[in-house]
Structure 1
Amino acid sequence: MTTQTQQQMSAVLDQLAGVLDGIDDTSKPTPCTEYDVAALRAHTVGWLTAFTDGFEAADGQCSNPDAARVNGTGGDQVRQLADRLDQALSAGAAQRPLRIGDAEMPGDMSLQMMLWEYQMHGWDLARATGQQWSPPQDGVLASLEFAPAMLTEDYQGEGKSFGPRVEVPADAPAIDRLAGLSGRDPKWSA
């Protein structure tokens, strides 16, 4: 599972880097309502830096995501971080826990969470800036299976990390179903 998730993550980050390179207006709103494009770009780069640092660290401790700064568009940064992450994962980093602050999560579960997060934030940024977003279908389907376990009442609903689920037809594209599950309206437009 980890190798497959690693490959899916690599593909999502490659596509995300291209989306970041294609941003021309960072003041636009995003479907992730608490962030405009600039803030969401900083969030994605900051957390990718933190997660990568954690997978590289012997103790699995993530760095402070707020300490990371976006360089240029952030696209080259994401490509470099993706390479570092891939190297760490290839060396077995997902076999040990990842530590975020005082919390600890199994490394392979952390990687699945990251895949879901970057599929959604890539979708947010692409949708906000009028770009295409089509991550690999197998990764989206894996996230559709993974995400419900993370979307408990503690995390999803009004005023929480994830908005309430949005009803999406069962035959809708997988990325639309994942967006709805994650509290986003697949029909959202800037």
Structure 2
Amino acid sequence: MNANTNETQTQAYGIGQLIGAAAERAVPVVTGIDDKVLAEPTPCGDYDVKSLVNHLFHVVVEFQKLAVKQDSDFTATPDRVGQGPDWRERFADQADALTAAWSAPGAENGTTGAMNMPARLVGSMALLDLTVHAWDLARATGQAFEPAPQALAPLADAVAELAPTARSMGMFGAPVDVGPDASPFDRLLAATGRRP
């Protein structure tokens, strides 16, 4: 595949469409988590299941602000799981709100966030978390997960752009070697430091 073809695939969908497709895959994983497994470890080493759900929940809420060019706040992660037994429904509602925010006209135009990054790239960060952390949670809780196929090429491009900074900040691990027959999703996971 040449660079022009890959760029065409990457731009074929609006970021709101891609986030919506990823949310459709992620929400069933999150809502399928039993309270009994909230203390289990995840492939994302710093998080157990509960803390990773709280992290993903926080991403889903704060990235709505970034879609409308407002400041986000990642200084502390609220314990939304601990706020009541309806946390699954609240997560699903916020995932819908995230999709709506990034689907609004102008959301992916210009720059947003504290580092004034291109808005589409910032939206891709939310897309990445919805995809990769959904896999983390599925793996940790014994659920099946398949990513939104249309998101894989845009995510590969976003990870290639974000990886140097993300690794220096400890957000990505060192890339993991995968075989030549690895799927695009396995290559994406490996690029973030996960072992597919």
TM-score by structure 1 length? 0.84
Report the Cα distance in structure 1 between the residues aligned to 2:128 and 2:180, rounded to whole angstroms: 19
Corresponding residue of 2:43: 31
2:185 pairs with 1:172: no
Measured after TM superposition, the shift of residue 83 of structure 1 is: 2.5
2:89 pairs with 1:76: yes
| Structure 1 contact 170–177 (Cα < 8 Å) conserved | no
2:101 pairs with 1:91: no
**Higher RCO, Cα 8 Å, sep 6+:** 2
| Structure 1 contact 165–183 (Cα < 8 Å) conserved | yes
Corresponding residue of 1:126: 138
Residues paired across the two proteins, number: 180
Identity, in percent, stands at: 28
Local SS of the residue matching 2:155: helix
Report the Cα distance in structure 1 between the residues aligned to 2:112 and 2:12, rounded to whole angstroms: 14
Question: Comparing both structures, which one devotes a greater share of its residues to helix?
Answer: 2
Local SS of the residue matching 1:19: helix
Report the Cα distance in structure 2 between the residues aligned to 1:72 and 1:166, rounded to whole angstroms: 37
Local SS of the residue matching 1:135: coil
Corresponding residue of 2:6: none
Local SS of the residue matching 1:155: helix
Measured after TM superposition, the shift of residue 19 of structure 1 is: 0.6
With over 3 angstroms needed to count, the CA separation of the structure-2 counterparts of 1:23 and 1:150, relative to structure 1, is same
Measured after TM superposition, the shift of residue 92 of structure 1 is: 2.1
With over 3 angstroms needed to count, the CA separation of the structure-2 counterparts of 1:73 and 1:170, relative to structure 1, is farther
Cα RMSD over matched residues? 2.2
Corresponding residue of 1:156: 167
| Structure 2 contact 21–148 (Cα < 8 Å) conserved | yes
| Structure 1 contact 26–38 (Cα < 8 Å) conserved | yes
With over 3 angstroms needed to count, the CA separation of the structure-2 counterparts of 1:140 and 1:73, relative to structure 1, is farther
| Structure 1 contact 17–76 (Cα < 8 Å) conserved | no
Local SS of the residue matching 2:54: helix
| Structure 1 contact 95–108 (Cα < 8 Å) conserved | yes
Task: Give 5+ residue unaligned stretches, structure 2.
Answer: 1-10
Corresponding residue of 1:5: 15
2:35 pairs with 1:22: no
Measured after TM superposition, the shift of residue 148 of structure 1 is: 1.3
With over 3 angstroms needed to count, the CA separation of the structure-2 counterparts of 1:175 and 1:185, relative to structure 1, is same
Report the Cα distance in structure 1 between the residues aligned to 2:23 and 2:88, rounded to whole angstroms: 9
Task: Give 5+ residue unaligned stretches, structure 1.
Answer: none
TM-score by structure 2 length? 0.81
